[in-house]
Structure 1
Amino acid sequence: MEKNFIARIVLIVVLIFTVGFAYSQKLNVGVVGLSHDHAHVIMNQYKSGEVNIIAIAEPDNGLKERYKKAYNLPESIFYSSINEMLAHTKPDAVLAYNAISDHLAVVEACAPKGISVMVEKPLATTVEQAEKMKVLKDKHKIQILVNYETTWYPSNQQIYSLVNSGTVGEVRKMIVHDGHQGPVEIGCSKDFLAWLTDPVKNGGGAITDFGCYGANIMTWLMKGEAPVAVSAITHQIKPEIYPNVDDDATILLEYPNATGIIEASWNWPFSIKDWEVFGVKGYLHAKDAQTLEHRDNKVSEKLSLQPVIYKDNLAYLSAALKGEIKDENDLSSFNVNMIVVKILAAAKESAKTGKKVKL
């Protein structure tokens, strides 16, 4: 009886220590902007106890009040600007959910204070913005990371692993489809649409919004190698809905021994984010986050997925801040995403001039 009692006490102490340790390991983050609908993801992570949001910078009172009510957020954590927020708080990192063109301003405010930043995809709207970020990143020794939904797909992670293990041989062609019916059609918020459909604030329409996914995973699979040249065509199929930006884009990436095709659209009958890889010995198709198929000239099979190391952006960000991640070819890494910005810039130039753009 006494032994069982002692064992129970020890177990309780261990559990208390474990829970306390886990809680102490939660990141204390600042959030800049709430106009990106992806901000609902971090809010739900907050609600489920995965992260501490210690400060939010949002100048729009109406938007602030909607989030405050929806997620039961205290008034004390809200600030009208990032400078005000950083004058009163010191978050472990800042996550940006504002217009892509405003990412640079977030880095300019955070970098001198030694605060790392994670932005929603893509990194920037122009190469000039991305280069300014790199100067600040290197000078102040911070990390600038980019969050994509597809980074956390187990199917995509396994494609990378299988290609590197030689399962399908050397890569010859990659095809990525990313898109949906359109941001208006699927019900994106008015705050999100205000900049998502702006050629300056978003840097384009579907070519930016969805073209970045393909550029990101292809650069990753090619181990940070930029394509030799980029060609692109865009369409404005629904000018009455999207008068200022493209709503359909096809981007062709030329590598020395491979080709990448990115199909990005706001004109499809359903939402899709898939990835096909053709190697000299076989074919892999990540149909969605949880479905991966393999084919060669003998078999066609659905593969079981292996556990991922980082399940989401918070797990990755935490590891990055601790120095546990050293790979400069990660999907979220600055190096890969600098190339993504260059690919998108070249694609927009190609679509405008009708000419191939060499990198």
Structure 2
Amino acid sequence: MTASAQAKKLKLAVAGLTHGHVGWVLSAIDRGDFELVGIAEPDRDLASKYAIQYGFSMDLIFADLDNMLEETEPEAVAAFGNTFDHLRIVQAAAPRGIHVMVEKPLAVSLKHAQEMANLAQKHQIHLLTNYETSWYPTNHKAKEILMSGEYGNAIKVIVRDGHRGPKKIGVGPEFLEWLTDPQLNGGGALMDFGCYGANLMTWLANGERPLSVTAITQQLQPENNPKVEDDATIIVNYPDKQLIIQASWNWPIGRKDMEIYAEKGAIYADNRNQLRTRWAEGYDGFQEKIYELPELDLPYPDPFLLLKAVIQNEIQLPPFDLYSLENNLIVMEILEAAKKSAEQGKTIYFN
């Protein structure tokens, strides 16, 4: 980025404080790349807790989103409330020409996502979706290796994401309340963790839409997740490859990993920084190479620097980028089909 763009602060507002990841933006208030001009949060007690923790003034707090946008005139809004409210935020921001970045997934439903996309396109705003795995150097290295053609075409991709469950890992009460609500979150583990695999595969496949989706869901912790599924297995079928998504609130160990099986070998993105490749030899032999990868160059590893760079035209996202609207509309198609498949007990075919 140029020095002039770095020097120009982004006027940023926050919509909601009930998302457990809101600390990412609040902890960065003083670093200089953006100015936090307002926070829309009706829960004064919650806002006060964060004001004390992160040292900001309660003068930044507005009970009403529209009032906050009118009075503070931000360039962008970062959404850190429940997923159902993403549509409402775009409805308020887009006509004012204010860009929006939401935490994954894009929306609670395909209908909401399409309404959001229409508003973004009509009013020419950026609408980005932030995933933790978008920052993983292993995922970017895996795509680089796959795109080189050295291993041949991908045949099967397996993406596993999850942890022990929101209650078991101790998320805050305001986060737990909506994360386990089928209306406010759009579902349970299927939405919370299924979106990662759909997002990554759409990126790897350069925006290719699947042929069909088949899903099975379970509720293995009814005492902790009484209203939603907490385990999902999703099979996404393409003409020449298959994606298997394993999304769970029942993993004993938290994980975000991806395996790519290609014609001549396999690529394992084991976590954020560790990647392995296996070049096939004979029946079950292989040559393994292990990578310890450094963090990506700025601004990509930081969602707020990336948002700033996109808005200030320092970066143009490639087609079907992990953050992009076109990618995340396909993600929502896959998630919607997965929910229908699990409910109806049959494969859902795409048009």
Which TM-score applies when normalising by structure 2? 0.94
Q: Which residue matches 2:168?
A: 185
Alignment of 1:139-288 (within 5 A): 139-288=122-271
2:91 is the alignment partner of 1:108? yes
Q: Which amino acid is 1:36 matched to?
A: H
| Residue of structure 1 in register with 2:301 after alignment | 311
Is the contact between residue 247 and residue 267 of structure 1 (CA under 8 Å) also seen in structure 2?
yes
Q: 1:299 corresponds to which residue? A: 287
CA–CA separation in structure 2 for the residues paired with 1:177 and 1:115? 34
Matched, 1:341 2:332: yes
Matches within 5 A, 1:75-154: 75-154=58-137
Deviation at 1:304, TM superposition (A): 4.5
**CA distance in 1: counterparts of 2:329 and 2:342, whole angstroms:** 20
* Equivalent residue, structure 2, for 1:5: none
Per the alignment, residue 272 of structure 2 pairs with: 289
User: The residue matched to 2:142 in structure 1 has which SS?
Assistant: helix
- In structure 1, runs of 5+ residues without a counterpart are 1-19
CA distance in 2, matches of 1:168, 1:53: 46
Range that drifts further, 263-272 or 299-308 = 299-308
- 1:228 is displaced (CA, Å) by 0.6
**1:38-84: CA deviation from partner (whole Å, max 9, x where unpaired):** 10111112244453211111001111111111101112211111101
> Could you report, residue by residue, the CA deviation over 1:93-136 in whole angstroms, capped at 9, with x for unpaired residues?
10001111110000000001111100000001111111111111
In structure 2, distance between residues paired with 1:281 and 1:220: 21
Q: Is the 8 A contact 1:47 1:71 kept in 2?
A: no
Change beyond 3 A, Cα 1:315–1:48 = closer
C-alpha separation in 1, matches of 2:294 and 2:271? 15
Distance 1:39 1:304 in 2: 29
Q: Residue 92 of structure 1: CA displacement?
A: 1.9
Q: Match for residue 23 of structure 2?
A: 40
> What is the CA–CA distance in structure 2 between the aligned matches of 1:247 and 1:341, rounded to whole Å?
19
Q: Is the 8 A contact 2:102 2:128 kept in 1?
A: yes
SS in 1 for 2:167: coil
| Cα distance in structure 1, aligned partners of 2:226 and 2:59 | 40
Equivalence for 1:17: none
CA RMSD of aligned residues (A): 1.7
Give aligned-pair identity as a percent. Answer: 44
Aligned length: 342
**CA deviation profile, 1:138-170 (whole Å, cap 9, x unmatched):** 110111000000000011111111111113210
Amino acid at match of 1:345: E
Q: Contact 1:118–1:144 (CA<8 Å) still a contact in 2?
A: yes
- Structure 2 regions of 5+ residues with no counterpart? 281-285
* Structure 2 counterpart SS, 1:100: coil
Deviations 1:227-279 (A, max 9, x none): 11000000001111111000100000001000100001111111000011111
1:310-332 deviation line (CA, Å, top 9, x unaligned): 12212221221123214231000
Please say if residues 206 and 265 of structure 1, whose CA atoms lie closer than 8 Å, have aligned partners that are also in contact: yes
d(CA) in 2 for partners of 1:21, 1:63: 37
Q: Is the 8 A contact 2:259 2:267 kept in 1?
A: yes
1:151, 1:332 within 8 Å by CA — same for their partners in 2? yes
Shift of residue 89 of structure 1?
Answer: 1.1
Secondary structure of the residue that 1:125 maps to in structure 2?
coil
Q: Which of structures 1 and 2 has the bigger CA Rg?
A: 1
Moved more, 50-59 or 120-129: 50-59
CA contact (8 A) 2:189 2:231 kept: yes
- Stretch deviating more after TM superposition (323-332 or 210-219): 323-332
Residue number in structure 1 paired with 2:283: none
Assess if the C-alpha contact under 8 Å between 2:16 and 2:79 holds in 1. yes
Distance 1:278 1:23, change over 3 A: closer
- 1:354 counterpart = 2:345: yes
C-alpha contact (below 8 Å) 1:167/1:282 kept by paired residues: no
